[in-house]
Structures are given as structure tokens and as C-alpha cells.
């Protein structure tokens, strides 16, 4: 049975990864950690520790106390916030991943690290972006993601640390809010559609990016860590994706359920520039070949599930017959 530490566990991903890991490996075997403290029932079903993962000692104390063998390292500053605070983003993203792989080396732990579509840049082939290709990102977030991919590969080849990872697309979820990324619109659009039937989008209607529904992303993060190492031709940064979408295509998908949903646009030049530097779609065929990766949610399935769950949680709308929302 694995004994797992999750860093940055109170964020968008950790809020769903921790419960999934606890269901699989047992509540007491999954330690959630963050530099924020949980509120309400967050994480109440298992251990929580304050861990600033820029501090090696704080990581090591928890590794020893719980006899941890696997670290899911989620703590980071996301792309849009990183462009407003690039020095902070460098310190947090690079400082934390370095301390985590070093702690893992000293304590014999495996490490999961999530890279991103942000690890690509404007000179990367935009469509069906290959697994191995040009990586010259023009954002601080992207720079830290490429450096972290390389650092994790280095610790695997030089020190035999079992580092593994995926390049995640923008993640869509209803459980926890996103933490300040360029793809956050794809979460907000669903909440606003249910609550107000109106959303003002900060990206152009035709901005094309890859997305994935959180249940698929959580499953990918567990499957890559459980994959047969003998089949893995890469250690880190497998491209994975579920769909390529735009604000316009998300709007069309939502209108199947909320026909009077209205979108308008007030472009944020900073986030538009980041989006314009990222691929339109990733080629994830190597992940499919090496560890049988396959998404289960396409755009329509994700849209139906998001709208139903947001309506249920907000209680401002109810799921009407015939697959439509009614007040």
C-alpha cells in the first residue's frame, strides 16, 4: 500500500485528487498539505499538515512522520498570476520542485509532477503538438514548467528517483475554483451559465486550447504512477488531452442545455497573449501507447456533468426534464 504526501492539496486539483487517492489507498495513507489551512470539512477525512514545500526541512519532517513513499507535488503559481508576479512564480515553482525531488532522493520516494500545455511556446507546432518538439515558452509559468520537466528527468537518470509526470491541458471542474490560470474561463463559463445565463469571456471566441474534465485528469495522475515502469519510454511530461475547445464551442455545447445562454467578450490582453502562445491541440499518442491513457469525457459529456453538478450545488436552478435547466 502506498503512503502518499500531496503538496498544494487545497488547490483545484488537490481538492479532487486527495479524495480519489484516499478512496484507493486508504484515508490514513494520504497526507494532504498546503501553506493554507483547510476550512470546513476540507480534508477532514484524513491527515493534513502545513508544509511550505520551498522548505526542505518541512517536507522531510512529514516524510519521516508518515513514512511516505510517494509525493504528488501540486504546489505552484499558475500562468496568469505568474505573469503578474514573475519573481514569485520562479521562487515558488522552481524552489518547491527542487526541494521535493531532493527530499525524494534522500528518502527514497517516487514523485509525480504535473507539467502543462504552458511548457510550449509560439515556435512549437500548434496543431497535434508532438510529444518531443520545440519548447521555447515565452511565459514565466512555461519557463518553470520546462525547467521542472528537465529537473525531474535529471533526478530520474542521475539519482534513480522514480519521477513521473504528464503535461496537463486546462482542467475543468466544479469542486474547487481554479487558481489563477489562463484556462480558468472554461470553469467560470459553466458557473455563470447556470447562475446568470450570461458570461463575459476574457479570451477571443476562437482561442483554441486543449481541455480535460477533472475526473479524467485525476485518473491519469493515478494511472501514470501505477504504470509498469518497463513500458515507460519517457519518465516525465507525457502529453495528455481530452478535447480541443474554444469559448465559441463551449458556448455551443452549453446552449444545448441552456438555449438562452449569452456570451460576450471583453478581451484581457495579458491572458490572450498567453493563450496565443500555447498549442491548439496536443498529440497524446505516446501516453496511449506506453500506459494505455484514454480520456472518458468529451466536450458534450463534460458539459452535461458540469451543468448538472453546478445546478445541484448552487440550488439556483434545477435540472428540468428533457435535459434543460429551468428556474
Which residues sit at the interface with ligand NAD, rule CB under 6 A?
A: 7-8, 10-14, 34-36, 51-54, 74-76, 78, 92, 96, 114, 116, 168, 170-171, 178-179, 181, 183
104, 111 contact by CB (below 8 A): yes
Residue 96 vs 325, nearer CB to ligand NAD: 96
The reply on whether position 181 binds ligand SER by CB under 6 A is yes
Unique residue bearing C-alpha cell 440550488:
315
CB of 279 to ligand SER, least distance (A): 11
The reply on whether position 208 binds ligand SER by CB under 6 A is no
Residue 48 vs 170, nearer CB to ligand SER: 170
DSSP result, 91-153: HHHHHHHHHHHHHHHHHT-EEEEEEEGGG--TTS--SSB-SS------SHHHHHHHHHHHHHH
CB of 76 to ligand SER, least distance (A): 9
Angle at Cα 107 formed by Cα 54 and Cα 44, nearest 5°? 65
User: In DSSP terms, which residues pair with 265 in a beta bridge?
Assistant: 201
Question: Residue 96 touches which of ligand NAD, ligand SER, none (CB < 5 to 8 A by kind)?
Answer: ligand NAD
Residue 183 vs 207, nearer CB to ligand NAD: 183
Residue 99 vs 173, nearer CB to ligand SER: 173
Question: Residue 14 touches which of ligand SER, ligand NAD, none (CB < 5 to 8 A by kind)?
Answer: ligand NAD
The reply on whether position 79 binds ligand SER by CB under 6 A is yes
CA distances to 58, 73, 77 from 96, rounded to whole Å, are 11, 8, 11
294, 240 contact by CB (below 8 A): no
Task: Using CB under 6 A, pick the residue from 11, 43, 121, 170 that binds ligand SER.
Answer: 170
The helix or strand, by DSSP H or E, that contains position 310, with its residue range, turns out to be helix 299-314
**Number of residues lying near ligand SER (CB under 6 A):** 10
Task: Using CB under 6 A, pick the residue from 78, 111, 201, 220 that binds ligand SER.
Answer: 78
Please give the residue whose beta carbon sits closest to ligand SER in the complex. 181
Unique residue bearing C-alpha cell 470553469:
187
Does 238 qualify as catalytic in the annotation?
no
The catalytic position among 141, 199, 257, 325 is 141
What residues contact residue 272 under an 8 Å CB cut-off, 6+ apart?
202, 203, 204, 207
CA distances to 1, 18, 90, 280, 284 from 220, rounded to whole Å, are 19, 14, 26, 21, 12
Question: Residue 182 touches which of ligand SER, ligand NAD, none (CB < 5 to 8 A by kind)?
Answer: ligand SER
What is the longest distance spanned by two Cα atoms in the chain?
59
* Nearest-angstrom CA–CA distance, 154 and 293: 24
Stretch 86-125 residues interacting with ligand SER (CB under 6 A):
116-118
Question: Residue 74 touches which of ligand NAD, ligand SER, none (CB < 5 to 8 A by kind)?
Answer: ligand NAD
The residues that are catalytic are 141
Q: Which residues bind ligand SER (CB under 6 A)?
A: 78-79, 116-118, 141, 170, 181-183
Amino acid at each position: 500500500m502506498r503512503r502518499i504526501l500531496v503538496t498544494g492539496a487545497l488547490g483545484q486539483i488537490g481538492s479532487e485528487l486527495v479524495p480519489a487517492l484516499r478512496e484507493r489507498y486508504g484515508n490514513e495513507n494520504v497526507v494532504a498539505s498546503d501553506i493554507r489551512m483547510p476550512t470546513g470539512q476540507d480534508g477532514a477525512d484524513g491527515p493534513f499538515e502545513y508544509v511550505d514545500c520551498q522548505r526542505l526541512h518541512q517536507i522531510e519532517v512529514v516524510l519521516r512522520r508518515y513514512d511516505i513513499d510517494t509525493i504528488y507535488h501540486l504546489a505552484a503559481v499558475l500562468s496568469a498570476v505568474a505573469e503578474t508576479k514573475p519573481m514569485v512564480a520562479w521562487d515558488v515553482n522552481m524552489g518547491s520542485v527542487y526541494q521535493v525531488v531532493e527530499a525524494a532522493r534522500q528518502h527514497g520516494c517516487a514523485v509525480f509532477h504535473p507539467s502543462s500545455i504552458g511548457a510550449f511556446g509560439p515556435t512549437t507546432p500548434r496543431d497535434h503538438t508532438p510529444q518531443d518538439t520545440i519548447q521555447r515558452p515565452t511565459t514565466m509559468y512555461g519557463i518553470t514548467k520546462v525547467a521542472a520537466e528537465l529537473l525531474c528527468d535529471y533526478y530520474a537518470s542521475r539519482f534513480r528517483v522514480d519521477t513521473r509526470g504528464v503535461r496537463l491541458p486546462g482542467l475543468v471542474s466544479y469542486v474547487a475554483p481554479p487558481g489563477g490560470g489562463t484556462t480558468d474561463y472554461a470553469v467560470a463559463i459553466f458557473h455563470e451559465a447556470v447562475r446568470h445565463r450570461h458570461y463575459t469571456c476574457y479570451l477571443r471566441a476562437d482561442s483554441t486550447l486543449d481541455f480535460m474534465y477533472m475526473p479524467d485528469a485525476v485518473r491519469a495522475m493515478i494511472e501514470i504512477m501505477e504504470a509498469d515502469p518497463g513500458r515507460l519510454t519517457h519518465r516525465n511530461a507525457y502529453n495528455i488531452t481530452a478535447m480541443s475547445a474554444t469559448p465559441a464551442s463551449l458556448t455551443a455545447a452549453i446552449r444545448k442545455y441552456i438555449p438562452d445562454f449569452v456570451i460576450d467578450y471583453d478581451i484581457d490582453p495579458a491572458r490572450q497573449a498567453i493563450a496565443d502562445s500555447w498549442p491548439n491541440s496536443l498529440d497524446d499518442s505516446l501516453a496511449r501507447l506506453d500506459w494505455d491513457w484514454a480520456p472518458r469525457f468529451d466536450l458534450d459529456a463534460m458539459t452535461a456533468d458540469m451543468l448538472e453538478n453546478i445546478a445541484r450545488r448552487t440550488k439556483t436552478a434545477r435540472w428540468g426534464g428533457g435535459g434543460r435547466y429551468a428556474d
